[in-house]
Amino acid sequence: MVKSDFRAESTGRNSPRIYRIGLVTCASNFERHQIMIHAFHQALKKKGPFALYVITNYGIYYGDHFTWRGEAADYSLLDHIQLDGCILESNLASDRMTGQLAERLRKRRIPVIAMNLSLEGVPSVNLKLTQAGRQLMKHLLEDRRCERIDLVMSPGHSVIFQDMLKVYREELEAHGLPYLPERIRETTVSIQNGRNMLTRILREEPDPGLRAVICVHDVCAIGVCMEAEALGIRIPEDLLVCSLNYSQNSMIFRPDITGVDRVDRTAVGLACDLLEKMIAGEDVPPVTHYEGVLRYGASTGSAIDEVAAEYQRQTLQQQAVNKIEMGGQVSRMMQFNDDLEKAESLEDWAQSLDDTLQDIGCQGFYCCLNHDDLPYIESNLEDHKTEDSPNYDSRMTVITGFSPRTGEIRNRAFPIEELVPIQPCPGDQFLVLPIHHAARSYGYMVYLNDDLPIGRYVFRIFQESLGASLDNLHKKMILKGNIRELDRLHMEDQMTGLFNRFALNRFAPEYIRGGSYTTVLADMDSLKTINDTYGHLAGNNAICMIAESLKDILPEGDLILRYGGDEFLILSGNTDPVYWERFKTELNDRLKQSAEKQKLPYAVGISIGYAICGGNGSCAIEKQIEQADRQMYENKRARKALSGQKDPV
């Protein structure tokens, strides 16, 4: 059995087993997202040899569906990779979707912990909002004497909302105010939705006296504040704004928003402790609670304390530095997008990615694409995947990657169960950012450990750009393939498969530049007689026999054209007249043998003339053709006289 301190079980190489812990989250609140990842990394690092695999996206989940299929595909990686335990973080934004992920993990006997999510049969660490929520309601009702309080919830915070809803109802009734369900509203998380929500609240009851709005998410609370300012509503004189998801956003916004600090680091520690016990085979309680703390701010008429004020100053200073650095990163990303658009191959694409990440100081990254997709991306084939195809292949290929541990990696295949192309070390953290475009998943980016100097917007640019650029590269290959096909159809004789007369201008300069070359003109004998006597199909068959014989006899480097109906033009670098005299005999002998083999009732022959350019630089192709044409007719007359025919045309 695995011991609860994670240190049992050697790999047989005098090193401890490294436990793989998954953290599944969503980066819709990027600042909190980064804080949570860092907290999990530090908490697990203290427990022993582990590697943290963070699978994240920017998807927004609405009720029962994602905004587009690609976002749901992000988490399908969980069906493939090997984990010893997994934590489902509340920022995933839906109990139902998180429950589906948990069920798939549990079927594979992977221990699962949820955070602030109510999932049947899944142990969870939940914020107990009763104490801080009751304190907030008493402050609004008793200290500030609010006459109306609206509660705005957001999907994905159901545990917090249900807890607050109970306190909200109890405190209103205890203070003699009516509990009205229409004052409880739901909206998705955005500043604009917060602004719209306040507009609707004011429209229903324009002047009820002093009112308060409690938002489950501080982003909506900020939107409420901004709309109030635009409408000339004073905070806190006319309106009190509160949040149940207190964060840096609440602190640095003017006025500082009063809210419940969820103290997520406490929750992180509890979750890691519980997961450790579950991996060791121990039972854990279905729900473990932790308390929130009410932080007073100017939005309810309370000044923040000195410690919070100093933290606010440091936060603002760091944000200013981040914005300066982010400006350079965004500028580099714009160039990166241009480079991706110009990529003519996956190699070009991978080199642009490698150059950009190293240029902004990223020291550990791997770009992993579906192994079976690679030939598809660089071909003009139709998509080989259907709606029922898996989002990820059983094998992945590192297109490009670099870290101090591995150096540069290019085009190395590995099983998707490993998720990354290297063996983890104790304390590793892998941030996995899926690459998709519309309904298609191409693979994912892996960033190694804490050296990810990428700001919020650059992070998102990567997610949106990589998949789109791969799709664009494939479309470019389709366009090139179509152009090549049109070019081929334009220059190819459909009956014989040889080049036609249009190809002469395209390829003749290659021979002329060499200085020395031979122009050969060949004309079939007696085509009119064959057509008149045996029909045009027989004549076409004879022309095709000549074409096949020319391809068989002449070397690959020679250019063979069907120059006219029964005329053929050859450009060759061979300038030996003896060779071309032998060629006349050999070609006619081969045609005779083919006719006999097919038991044709007619003979197939050809008259040939050639002109050799000796490299003096004055051999225009037109002059060469004229000279070869004259010699060809001389050969035709000679063959006519020899055979006794009237006219071997």
Confirm if 640 and 647 have CB atoms less than 8 A apart. Answer: yes
Cα separation of the two ends of the chain: 94
| In the predicted structure, residue 450 carries a pLDDT above the cut 70 | no
299 in helix, strand or coil?
helix
Distance CA 445, CA 396 (A): 12
338 against 326, higher pLDDT: 338
Q: What pLDDT score was predicted for residue 618?
A: 64
Compute the average pLDDT of residues 350-360.
Answer: 83
Which two tokens mark 298? 């100017």
Q: What pLDDT score was predicted for residue 479?
A: 66
Distance CA 24, CA 77 (A): 10
Comparing CA positions, the residue from 112, 193, 115 lying closest to residue 159 is: 115
Distance CA 218, CA 223 (A): 9
- The predicted-structure confidence for 531-563, as pLDDT tens digits, reads as follows 999 999 999 999 999 999 999 999 988 989 999
Per-residue 3-state assignment (H helix, E strand, C coil) for 164-231: HHHHHHHHHHHCCCCCCHHHEEECCCCHHHHHHHHHHHHHHCCCCCCEEEEECCHHHHHHHHHHHHHC
Give one word for 449, left, alpha or beta, with left for phi > 0 and alpha for psi -120 to 50.
Answer: left
| In the predicted structure, residue 326 carries a pLDDT above the cut 90 | no
Least confident of 2-11, 174-183, 437-446: 2-11
| In the predicted structure, residue 60 carries a pLDDT above the cut 90 | no
- The predicted-structure confidence for 152-194, as pLDDT tens digits, reads as follows 987 666 677 888 899 999 999 999 999 999 999 888 778 899 9
Compute the average pLDDT of residues 352-380.
Answer: 84
Distance CA 167, CA 216 (A): 14
Q: What pLDDT score was predicted for residue 8?
A: 40
Whose structure tokens read 């032998």?
582
Confirm if 593 and 571 have CB atoms less than 8 A apart. Answer: no
- The predicted-structure confidence for 495-521, as pLDDT tens digits, reads as follows 888 988 888 888 888 778 767 889 999
Least confident of 20-34, 194-208, 378-392: 378-392
Distance CA 130, CA 291 (A): 8
Q: What is the mean pLDDT of the chain?
A: 82
Q: What pLDDT score was predicted for residue 9?
A: 44
| In the predicted structure, residue 649 carries a pLDDT above the cut 70 | no
- The predicted-structure confidence for 242-279, as pLDDT tens digits, reads as follows 998 887 778 778 788 999 988 788 899 999 999 999 99
Distance CA 221, CA 197 (A): 10
Which two tokens mark 603? 């003979």
CB-based contacts of 272, cutoff 8 Å, min separation 6: 40, 43, 44, 47, 87
Least confident of 97-101, 104-108, 213-217, 449-453: 449-453
88 in helix, strand or coil?
strand
| In the predicted structure, residue 49 carries a pLDDT above the cut 80 | yes
The most confident of the ranges 211-215, 357-361, 467-471, 475-479 is 211-215
Instruction: Identify the band that residue 66 occupies on the pLDDT scale cut at 50, 70 and 90.
Output: very low
Pairing of strands 124-128, 112-115: parallel
Domains and CATH numbers, the chain: 19-119+310-476 (no CATH), 126-266+282-305 (3.40.50.2300), 503-643 (3.30.70.270)
Distance CA 604, CA 600 (A): 9
Total-model pTM: 0.68
Confirm if 401 and 432 have CB atoms less than 8 A apart. Answer: no
Comparing CA positions, the residue from 67, 56, 121 lying closest to residue 89 is: 56
Distance CA 619, CA 571 (A): 13
Q: What pLDDT score was predicted for residue 336?
A: 73
Least confident of 87-101, 466-480, 588-602: 87-101
Distance CA 213, CA 226 (A): 13
Q: What pLDDT score was predicted for residue 143?
A: 92
In the chain, count H helices and then E strands: 18, 24
Comparing CA positions, the residue from 626, 630, 621 lying closest to residue 511 is: 621
Confirm if 44 and 50 have CB atoms less than 8 A apart. Answer: yes
Confirm if 518 and 572 have CB atoms less than 8 A apart. Answer: yes
Q: What pLDDT score was predicted for residue 68?
A: 36
| In the predicted structure, residue 429 carries a pLDDT above the cut 80 | yes
Amino acid residing at 278: M
Distance CA 556, CA 544 (A): 18
392 against 488, higher pLDDT: 392
Confirm if 84 and 279 have CB atoms less than 8 A apart. Answer: yes
Least confident of 229-233, 287-291, 423-427, 507-511: 507-511
- The predicted-structure confidence for 279-318, as pLDDT tens digits, reads as follows 999 999 999 999 989 988 899 988 766 776 777 777 777 6
| In the predicted structure, residue 431 carries a pLDDT above the cut 70 | yes
Distance CA 160, CA 295 (A): 17
Least confident of 78-82, 148-152, 182-186, 321-325: 321-325
Compute the average pLDDT of residues 324-351.
Answer: 74
Instruction: Identify the band that residue 87 occupies on the pLDDT scale cut at 50, 70 and 90.
Output: very high
Pairing of strands 606-614, 516-524: antiparallel
Q: What pLDDT score was predicted for residue 460?
A: 57
- Sheet of 211-215: strand order equals 184-186, 148-153, 211-215, 239-246, 258-261, 293-295
316 against 198, higher pLDDT: 198
Distance CA 483, CA 490 (A): 10
What percentage of the chain has pLDDT greater than the value 70? 81
Instruction: Identify the band that residue 3 occupies on the pLDDT scale cut at 50, 70 and 90.
Output: very low
Q: What pLDDT score was predicted for residue 620?
A: 83
Strand partners for 519: 571, 611
The DSSP 8-state label assigned to residue 280 in this structure reads T
- The predicted-structure confidence for 613-632, as pLDDT tens digits, reads as follows 876 656 788 889 999 999 99
Distance CA 426, CA 500 (A): 66
Q: What is the DSSP string of 341-367?
A: HH--SHHHHHHHHHHHHHHTT--SEEE
CA distance to 128, 239, 450, per residue, from 454 (Å): 34, 38, 11
